[in-house]
Amino acid sequence: MSTDRVPPGQKLTEGFPVLHYGDVPYYRDMSKWDLKLFGLVEQEVSISYKHFMQLPRQQYKNDIHCVTTWSKLDNVWEGVSVAAVLGQVKLLPNVTHVMLHAEEGWSTNLPLADFIAETSFFGLKHNGELLSPEHGYPVRMVVPHLYFWKSAKWLRGVEFMAKDKPGFWEVNGYHMYGDPWKEQRYDWD
């Protein structure tokens, strides 16, 4: 049994539900895509699609937990480490939190320590397949130790900040941190 891997209030699913606010972006011209690293950095950086695809990749295996109570075990991913991306930029010493910025102004916040955890990464493939448009193509964040809403699909920017600030769902009552093992679903949990 895998109950020790399923946080309280969660149920296992075999499928891969699609959940988001707004429209799925369909890209035609990847030369227009970039990932911006900005905020409290020595110099802002824009990583092109071509450059991002040349960064070293690793395999990751994890379990994911959505706040709407589904969990999915044993996901295999291919992705770029946070260390490889941070190698492109110099952070100022006062950075404590990051805001992940996705297409259409969607965002989510997390502490720097959780962003740079060895288990967090920039996902490109899931279970052997390129991410589908619905699941975040071309690049989504994956932060498996927090509820899955912190794993921004269609990532376009990482903002480095000196204090915490609520992102899109957090403004609407979702928890600022979102630890599934403590059931931090909403800000009153």
Ligand X SMILES: Nc1nc2c(c(=O)[nH]1)N[C@H]1C(S)=C(S)[C@@H](COP(=O)(O)O)O[C@H]1N2
Which 2-31 residues touch Mo ion, going by CB under 5 A?
A: 19
Q: Does 77 bind ligand X (CB under 6 A)?
A: no
CB of 37 or CB of 152, closer to ligand X = 152
Cis? peptide before 25, omega within 30° of 0? no
**Collapsed DSSP state (helix, strand, coil) of residue 103:** helix
Q: Which residue in the set 102, 142, 143, 158 belongs to the binding site for ligand X (CB under 6 A)?
A: 102
Total residues at interface with Mo ion (CB under 5 A):
4
**Using rule CB under 6 A, residue 110 touches ligand X:** no
Of 6, 7, 13, 20, which lies in the binding site for ligand X, with binding defined by CB under 6 A?
20
Q: Contact between 141 and Mo ion (CB under 5 A)?
A: no
Chain positions 145 to 164 lying near Mo ion, rule: CB under 5 A, are 149
Q: Which is nearer to Mo ion, 19 or 83 (CB)?
A: 19
Query: Between residue 39 and residue 58, which ones bind Mo ion under the rule CB under 5 A?
Result: none
Q: Which of 114, 115, 135, 143 binds ligand X (CB under 6 A)?
A: 135
**β-bridge partners, 62:** 75
Rule CB under 5 A: choose which of 24, 53, 66, 161 binds Mo ion: 66
Q: Residue 125 touches which of ligand X, Mo ion, none (CB < 5 to 8 A by kind)?
A: none
Strands 70-81 and 11-12: parallel
What is the amino acid identity at position 181? W
Q: Strand (E) positions, the chain?
A: 11-12, 34-39, 45-48, 58-65, 70-81, 97-102, 107-111, 121-126, 129-130, 140-142, 155-161
Which DSSP string do the residues of 146-166 spell out, in sequence order?
Answer: S-GGGS-SSEEEEEEESS---
